[in-house]
Amino acid sequence: MSDQPLHRTLGLTDDEALRITELMGREPTDPELVMFSLMWSEHCSYKHSKPLLSGFPTTGPRVVMGPGENAGAVDVGDGLAVVFKVESHNHPSAVEPFEGAATGVGGIVRDILAVGAKPICLLDSLRFGPLSSQRSRHLFTRAVAGIGHYGNCIGIPNVGGEVSFDDRYEDSCLVNAMCVGVIPHDRILSCAARGIGNRLVLIGNRTGRDGIGGASVLASAELGEDDADKRPSVQVGDPFTERKLLDCCLDLSDRGLLVALQDLGAAGLTSAASEMASMGGVGLAIDLDRVPLREQGMAPAEVLVSESQERMLAVVEPGRMAEVVALAQRHELEATDIGEVTDTGDFEALWRGDEVVRIPARLLTDDVPMYDVPRTPAPAAAPVDLADLPEPADPSAAWLTLMANHNVASKRWVFEQYDHLVGAGTVRRPGGDAAVVLIPGTNRAVAVALDCAEWHCELDPRAGGMASVLEAARNVACTGAVPIAATDCLNFGNPEKGSTGWRLAECIGGMADALRAIDAPIVSGNVSLYNESPGRVIYPTPVVGIVGLLEDASKSVGHAFQHPHDVVLLIGYGEPRVDASQYLGRAEGSPPVPDPVRESALFRLLATAADQGLLASAHDVSAGGLAVTVAESAIAGGVGADVAVDSGRRADETLFGEGGGRVVASCRPDHVDALLALAGAGIGVARVGTVGGHEVTITVGGSVARVSVADLARVWEGSIPEALEAT
C-alpha cells in the first residue's frame, strides 16, 4: 500500500486537499475525497484550459444551445436543430484500444441522446504511430474494430473523419469521436435538475467496477510504463444495451416524461448528479443502496464514481414514475428510483442508512481551482530552403511514392469496416471532402467534416489553429454547404511543461480568429491534455468539426471528376509551399499563413456555384498538394485529366506543395464564364485542364508528370492494406 496521503494517491495536490477542507469546513469523508478527485481532475474540470476557452465565439443567430450542456445545437430551419459534439477517448484507447474506442463512440452518442436528439451520423478522428511499429498496428486495427463494432451494432452510420500516422503518436494515440443528431427546438432537453421532490431515475445498465477512476487515472495524467495496470480503468461497452437505451430515452422524451436527462460518463454518478444539481441550482439526495449493482461488495465510493457504460440519469415527476418504469421495461431496461431533487443545493448520498456524502454541488462543479498555464514561446520556425531539398529526377515516380504515403493514401480499409449507409440518410459517403447526411423529414442536409493541421500547429500554433478550422470548413464548402457552426477537441500534452501551454493558448486564439471570420461559432467541445509519455509528447492537435447546411441535398457536390471534356479549374488564393508538407515528410519550416477573410469568400463562391448547378466536382487541395488532389478526383471518377500549371515556382513545389485556400474543381465548358463572374476580389478561378482519358498528366513549365489512373489507384488504395498484411 502506498505511504502517500490518500489525496495524493487520488491525484489531488496538497493545496487542493487543503482547499477542499476549507470549502467544506471539515475534513471530507473518503467517498467525498474520491468524488473531489474526479470532479477536480483535468478531464472533468478543464482546470488548465477553461480560462483560455472564453476566447471562442459561442453565439450567433443560429445558435440554439451553446457550450455548457451535453452538446451544442444550431437552427437548421422549420423548427429543427442539429445537435453535435466531438469528444476524446485517447488514454483508454492507448491502454485497451478495442474497448477504449468502442466506449468512446457510446459516450458521444449518449451526449447527443442527453439533449433528446436522435443521432443521425458518427465521425472519427484518429492518430497513431507509424504502421512500421507493431504497437501502432495493434492500436490502429483494434481501435478501428472497436469503433466499427459499436457503431454498427447501434445502427448509426459512421460517415467520415480522418486518420494519420506519425511517430509522435506512438505512445499516445488519439481517438476522437463526433456524433450529430436532430431534434425539434421545443423538445430539447437540459441536464438541469428542477422541481423539488421530483424523482432521480437511473436508466439502463447495472453499475459495476469497470471504468472506476477513468477520468483521473487515465484521462488526466501522462501515460507511462505501467499502462497495463490501468486496464481496469477502461470501461467495457455493450452496444446492444446502448441501442435499447437510445430507443427508450427517445421514446420517453417523445412522450414528455422527462424533466431533465444526463449521461453517466466520466466520474459516473458523481459527475452526472452534481452537474444536474449545479445547473439547476438545486440539491440531489441519492440512496446508494437503491442503485442496481452488477457486482457484490462494492463500496459507496465505487458506486459513486463507476464509469459503467450505457446508463442515463433522468429527473421525473413523481406522478409519471409508473409510466417511465413501464416504458423502460418495454425496452428491456431497468429504470430505478434512486433519489430525489431537494432544495438544499447539496449532493447527498446515503449508504445503509448513514449519510456518507454531503457536498454543496457547486463545490464539485463551479469552485474548481483554475490554473494559468505557463506560456513559454517556442523558437520561431525557419522556412525550408529549397536549395537543401533535391528536386526529383522523375516527378512521376515521386508522385507515386507520395500517393503511397500512409497519410495521403486511401483510408478505405478503415471506413469499409463501418456501416455508413444504415438509416438511408447518407448522401455523400466516406472518402470525399465531407460527409453529407439528410436531415430527416426534409430535403435539406448537413455536411460534416473533422480535420486538423497538427504539423502547422507545432511550427506556428496561431496560424495552425486557423488552418485547422479552415481545412475542415473548406472540406464542408466543397460539397456546396455553408459552414454554420463548429465543435472541437483540443488534444495536447502536459500544459505545465515546455511550450505546450503557449501552443494551447495560441492555437485557441487562431481558431477563434478563423471561426469569427467564417461566422461559425463553437457550440460544444472537449479538451484532452497530458497526451504524452516520458519519451514523447504529441503534436498540438486541435481537431475541429465543422457542420454546414445544404438547403437542397440534391445539389451537393462530390469530389470525383464526372465527364470527359469537362474543364478542370483551380479556384482560390495562395501559393504552394513544401514547408510541413507530406512531400517534405516532417514538421519543419514555415507553412503559409491562411487568410480567413479570403477563405470565407471562397466558401461563399463554392456554395453559390453549387446552388446554381455550376460545379461537376470540387476537391480541397490539402495533403500531397495539387498532384494528389487531381489524382484523387481522377481515381474517384475513374477518368483521367490533362492539367497544365505555369506557376513560376519549382516543379515539385507546384506539384506537391501545400497551403490552404485552393480547390480543384471541374465543370461543363459552358459554365466557366458563369464561375468566373462569381469570383470576387482575391479569389482566382483559373482554367488549368480538361477531364478525359486514362492517364493523369500535370505539366509545370517544362516538367511533366504522367501516371495512369489505374497505377495511381493501385498504389493509393493498396498502401495501408499492404502495410497491415506485411505484419
138 is catalytic: no
Say if CB 657 and CB 576 are below 8 A apart: yes
Strand order in the sheet with 354-360: 260-263, 311-316, 199-204, 334-342, 283-287, 346-351, 354-360
Q: Is 466 exposed, middle or buried (0-12, 13-18, 19+ CB in 10 A)?
A: buried
CA 548 to chain centre: 15
Strand partners, 77: 80
DSSP letters spanning 669-686: GGGHHHHHHH--TT-EEE
C-alpha cell at 337: 428510483
Say if CB 459 and CB 587 are below 8 A apart: yes
Say if CB 612 and CB 674 are below 8 A apart: yes
- List CB contacts of 383: < 8 A, sequence separation 6 or more: 577, 579, 589, 590
Q: Which of these is catalytic: 7, 48, 89, 406?
A: 89
CA 450 to chain centre: 6
Q: How many CA atoms lie within 13 A of 292 on its CB side?
A: 15
Q: Which of these is catalytic: 43, 406, 619, 671?
A: 43
Beta strand pairing call for 311-316 and 199-204: antiparallel
89 is catalytic: yes
Q: Is 47 exposed, middle or buried (0-12, 13-18, 19+ CB in 10 A)?
A: buried
What are residue 440's phi and psi, to 5 degrees? -50, 135
Say if CB 158 and CB 122 are below 8 A apart: yes
CA distance 535 to 409: 28
Q: State the catalytic residues.
A: 43, 89
